[in-house]
């Protein structure tokens, strides 16, 4: 199940409890930094200018081959943006990973609104192992308030989720869904939606806490009445301690520009540790700045580092 894989990544094993650890088991790569949603809790909203470019395919091929040679076992063909904004590139990336370099596991998370059946089937045919939907609103009104876009996308996403389930019978792609467990009444409101429109069309559903997104989206979160957790503590039923933060030790994060980030929510390049246009993946993974930051995490004292504000919620 997908939760077993998530827990394996968010649990830092002894051999990774060092400032210069081995290559991560998992890496997420931003195929497209663009997104058609405007979610109030998302770090993407902190960008002054929303990018209009997608990742260079030649760069993608080079860095993922390096990752495979270094021992990376899982690649997420997404990071912060919505990868179905660039469906042709997305399919090409999946095909390269599965059929050219033999990546054991390729996964994707999507908001579903742009995941039209033709594109989803192409991803499945290319060999996508896991497709997870983010479902974070109970109805059209709540969707418009939280996601900040027209309610018609709420229904489109639900239709695409059902269509993907019907397509999946001919493929091996696992289908999953997650939902953010907000404060207040939203979780209860979502139960009926999940029961009727989501759970029948996925292999597993699980809950996530409301992340702080690097402490950059807090103003909008407060307006919506939600309280984020410290850092990224994993899924709700298997929360990890904020320090040391697993995302700096066991999972890589690569932006569309080719920057390696120490943070899973780095929309503003505050956590950039290396430039993969100029460095190999492992050179960036254990670059001096990254080693220094991890050492602070291991001491559980990130005062004066870029991570200081994120863990302040604890």
Q: What is the pLDDT of residue 212?
A: 45
**pLDDT the model gives residue 312:** 42
> pTM value?
0.90
Nearest Cα to 181, choosing from 173, 172, 189? 189
Stated length of the chain: 314
Dihedral sign for Cα 72, 233, 208, 39, please.
negative
pLDDT < 50 positions in the chain:
212-217, 220, 224, 227-229, 312-314
The SS3 of residue 273 is strand
Question: Would you state the pLDDT for residue 217?
Answer: 44
Answer for the pair 81, 33: CB distance below 8 angstroms, yes or no: yes
Omega before 257 within 30 of 0, i.e. cis: no
- Tell me which H or E stretch contains 108: strand 105-110
Evaluate whether 82 touches 35 at the Cβ level (below 8 Å): yes
Longest dimension (CA), the chain: 52
Distance (Å, rounded) from C-alpha 290 to C-alpha 24? 13
Position 213 scores a pLDDT of 40
Q: How open is the CA angle 201-204-209, to the nearest 5 degrees?
A: 115
To which H or E segment does residue 178 belong?
A: strand 174-180
> What is the C-alpha to C-alpha distance for residues 76 and 254, in angstroms, rounded to an integer?
10
pLDDT for the residue numbered 127: 98
User: Six-digit token pair at 231?
Assistant: 């850092």
pLDDT of residue 30: 96
Q: Which residue has the tokens 């307006």?
A: 223
**Full DSSP string of 180-238:** E--STTHHHHHHHHIIIIIGGGSSEEEEE----GGGTSHHHHHHHT--PPSS---SGGG
For residue 193, what are the contacts with CB-CB under 8 A and spacing of at least 6? 135, 138, 139
Give 208's strand partners: 180
| Other C-beta atoms lying within 10 Å of the C-beta of residue 3 | 16
Cα(307)–Cα(293) distance, integer angstroms = 9
Cα–Cα distance, 184 to 171 (Å, whole number): 39
- pLDDT > 70: what percent of the chain? 84
Contact 240, 261 (CB under 8 A): no
């Amino acid at each position: 199940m997908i939760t077993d894989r998530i827990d394996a990544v968010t649990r830092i094993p002894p051999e990774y409890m060092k400032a210069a650890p081995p290559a991560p088991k998992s890496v997420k790569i931003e195929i497209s930094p663009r997104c058609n949603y405007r979610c109030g809790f998302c770090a993407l909203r902190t960008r002054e200018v929303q990018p209009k470019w997608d990742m260079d395919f030649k760069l993608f091929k080079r860095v993922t081959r390096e990752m495979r040679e270094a021992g990376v076992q899982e690649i997420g063909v997404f990071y912060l943006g919505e990868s179905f904004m660039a469906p042709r590139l997305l399919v090409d990336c999946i095909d390269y990973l599965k059929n050219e370099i033999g990546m054991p596991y390729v996964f994707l998370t999507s908001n579903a609104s742009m995941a039209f059946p033709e594109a989803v089937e192409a991803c499945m045919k290319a060999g996508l192992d896991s497709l997870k939907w983010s479902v974070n609103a109970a109805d059209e009104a709540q969707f418009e308030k939280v996601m900040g876009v027209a309610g018609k996308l709420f229904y489109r996403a639900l239709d695409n989720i059902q269509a993907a389930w019907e397509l999946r019978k001919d493929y091996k792609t696992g289908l999953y869904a997650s939902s953010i467990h907000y404060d207040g009444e939203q979780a209860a409101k979502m139960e009926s939606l999940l029961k009727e429109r989501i759970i029948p069309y996925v292999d597993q559903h699980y809950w996530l806490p409301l992340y702080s997104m690097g402490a950059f989206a807090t103003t909008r979160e407060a307006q919506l009445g939600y309280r984020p957790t410290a850092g990224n503590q994993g899924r709700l039923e298997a929360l990890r301690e904020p320090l040391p933060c697993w995302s700096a030790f066991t999972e890589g994060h690569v932006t569309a520009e080719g920057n390696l980030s120490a943070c899973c929510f780095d929309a503003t390049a505050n956590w950039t540790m290396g430039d993969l246009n100029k460095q190999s993946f492992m050179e960036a993974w254990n670059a001096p700045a990254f080693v220094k930051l991890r050492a602070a995490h291991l001491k559980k004292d990130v005062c004066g580092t870029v991570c200081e504000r994120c863990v302040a919620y604890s």
